[in-house]
Amino acid sequence: MSERPDVVRRLFAAVEAGDLPALLDCYGDGIEIREAPSLPYGGVYRGRRGARDHAEAFVRAWGPYRGRREPLGASFGETDDGRVVAVFRHHAVDQARGRRLDEDEVGIYDVRDGVVVRSTMLHADPERLARFLAEGSGR
């Protein structure tokens, strides 16, 4: 196995710590991040500014539901073509409404020269995530 999974492990550690500078350091200048278009932070983000925009949009959407930070429980593997796959849990708690979200999620990461150059997020049920967020915001 190459060092590629270690780059993605650093990215996940930064996410779990809420460390935006460390997160952004894991991305290359030409990073492309893809999220399901049905999510409030969905779409394609490009470049370092796009990576920052994605992180900020994600935190705006999910920040109110983070509460006690639960580990993502990620497992990492490397594909035959050199991509890194992370399988993890997306946790959220809406204490005001007594709701909890615990969903499978998969990230596919292209890593080159020690940085992530493409991130594709795959959600088991992106519409369920969107509904959770919409119901929490009162929309």
pLDDT, mean over the chain: 91
4-136 CATH:
3.10.450.50
The string of pLDDT tens digits covering residues 69-92 is 677 889 999 999 989 999 998 889
The DSSP string of 107-134 is: EEEEEETTEEEEEEEEES-HHHHHHHHH
The string of pLDDT tens digits covering residues 14-39 is 998 889 999 999 999 999 999 999 99
Domains of the chain: which residue ranges? 4-136
Instruction: Please give the structure tokens belonging to residue 81.
Output: 């073509």
In this prediction the pTM is 0.91
